[in-house]
């Protein structure tokens, strides 16, 4: 089984962000980067499938040279090889990224192409299903459970207040939600091995981006709250405030 996992390098979301002077990007000072949360789950799913069915996992990422660090992490976790689709700046437009990935994946002979359900930075969740359409492959998004057997798959996805089970034929494109399989930590041996694994750099063919950033702003801080009181005796006052001041009860 040949599995592609498309991963993205995103800022560590625990950081405090500030906007740079151009008003349309994050101030890079002090930013740390990591693999997108959901991408880690997608990679874990790919690695487990290959452990069970045989084959290899290839990790791909669109972006500037910084993504090589993220790809190396994927290799350290167990991917066999990596491909960087090089651009100077990763666009916001999901369709542009999907075009670049589809061009690379089209003749790759992959049984499965996996994505995280969305990148935590742009929070679009569009690249996976768009890539599927460009490749004319079946697609299931936001998967919380997955089984693959005999060239077919069964997946569960969560909806608002319910869930649905989907069946699909391989090859297919899947996007993976959290909770399906906790991403493994790279072992020291894995990290050493990753240094020798192939990482290919290719120019990306993204075409024109038609969803572009005009500006970025930080949402207004919440006004400082107050401690109503201590212990259960503060409950009547809290209730009064919720009814008469906040008017939410």
Partner 1 sequence: MAPVLAFAESRNGELRKVALETVAAARQVADALGGEVHAMLFGAPGVAGQAEALGRYGADLVIVIEHPALERYSPEVLAATLTHRIQSAEYRAAFFAASAEGRDLAPRVAAKLGVSLASDVTGFELQGDAVIVRHPAFTGKVVVTLRLIGTPALLSLRPGAITPAENPRTARVETAAPAMDPAAARVTVTETSARGSAKLDLGEATIVVSGGRGLRAAENFKLVEDLAAAIGNAAVGATRAVTDDGWRPATDQIGQTGRLVSPDLYIAVGISGAVQHLAGMRTAKTIVAINKDKDAPIFKIADYGIVGDLFEVVPRLTEEIRKVRKEH
Taking CB under 8 A as the criterion, which residues in 54-83 touch partner 1? Answer: none
> For partner 1, what does the binding mask look like between residues 24 and 53, x meaning CB under 8 A?
--x----------xx---------------
Give the integer Cα–Cα distance in Å for 153 and 244: 54
Residue found under tokens 């008469």: 244
Least Å from the CB of residue 74 to partner 1: 19
Give the integer Cα–Cα distance in Å for 23 and 21: 5
Least Å from the CB of residue 89 to partner 1: 15
Q: Regarding beta strands 9-11 and 81-86, do their DSSP bridges make them parallel or antiparallel, or are they unpaired?
A: unpaired
* Single residue of 98, 176, 194, 206 touching partner 1 by CB under 8 A: 98
* Single residue of 149, 185, 188, 248 touching partner 1 by CB under 8 A: 248
* Single residue of 88, 89, 150, 230 touching partner 1 by CB under 8 A: 230
* Single residue of 67, 85, 132, 206 touching partner 1 by CB under 8 A: 132
Least Å from the CB of residue 77 to partner 1: 18
* Single residue of 77, 141, 148, 194 touching partner 1 by CB under 8 A: 141
Among 42-50, 72-80, 159-167, 183-191, the segment contacting partner 1 (CB under 8 A): 159-167
Site residues (CB under 8 A) for partner 1, limited to 168-227: 168-169, 172, 178-179, 209-219, 222-227
Least Å from the CB of residue 43 to partner 1: 15
Among residues 157 and 197, whose Cβ is nearest to partner 1? 157
* Single residue of 149, 185, 188, 246 touching partner 1 by CB under 8 A: 246
What's the token pair of residue 231? Answer: 């212990």
Among residues 8 and 72, whose Cβ is nearest to partner 1? 8
What's the token pair of residue 247? Answer: 């008017």
What's the token pair of residue 144? Answer: 């919380």
Q: Is 101 strand, coil or helix?
A: helix
Least Å from the CB of residue 44 to partner 1: 14
**Bond before 171 cis per omega within 30 degrees:** yes
Residue found under tokens 């592609």: 4
Among residues 78 and 94, whose Cβ is nearest to partner 1? 94
Give the integer Cα–Cα distance in Å for 65 and 103: 20
Give the integer Cα–Cα distance in Å for 99 and 103: 6
Give the integer Cα–Cα distance in Å for 243 and 187: 54
CA 112, distance to chain mean position in Å, is 16
Cα dihedral 81→87→88→89 (10° resolution)? -100
Rule CB under 8 A: is residue 109 a binding residue for partner 1? no
* Element spanning 38, H or E: helix 37-53
């Amino acid at each position: 089984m040949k599995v592609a996992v498309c991963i993205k390098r995103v800022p560590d979301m625990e950081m405090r962000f500030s906007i740079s002077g151009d008003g349309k990007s994050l101030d890079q000072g002090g930013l740390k980067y990591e693999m997108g949360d959901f991408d880690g789950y997608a990679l874990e799913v790919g690695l487990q499938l290959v452990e069970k069915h045989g084959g290899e996992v290839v990790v791909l990422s669109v972006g500037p040279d910084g993504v090589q660090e993220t790809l190396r992490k994927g290799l350290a976790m167990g991917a066999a090889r990596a491909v960087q689709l090089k651009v100077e700046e990763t666009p916001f437009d999901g369709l542009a990224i999907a075009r670049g990935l589809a061009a690379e994946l089209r003749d790759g002979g992959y049984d499965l192409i996996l994505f995280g359900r969305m990148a935590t930075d742009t929070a679009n969740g569009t690249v996976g299903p768009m890539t599927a359409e460009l490749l004319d492959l079946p697609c299931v998004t936001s998967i919380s459970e997955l089984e693959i057997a005999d060239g077919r798959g069964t997946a569960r996805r969560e909806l608002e207040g319910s869930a649905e089970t989907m069946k699909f034929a391989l090859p297919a494109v899947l996007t993976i939600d959290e909770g399906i399989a906790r991403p493994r930590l790279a072992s020291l041996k894995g990290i050493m091995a990753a240094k020798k694994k192939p990482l290919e750099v290719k120019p990306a063919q993204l075409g024109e981006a038609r969803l572009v950033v005009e500006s970025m702003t930080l949402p207004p801080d919440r006004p400082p709250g107050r401690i109503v009181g201590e212990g259960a005796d503060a409950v009547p006052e809290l209730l009064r405030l919720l009814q008469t001041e906040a008017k939410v009860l």
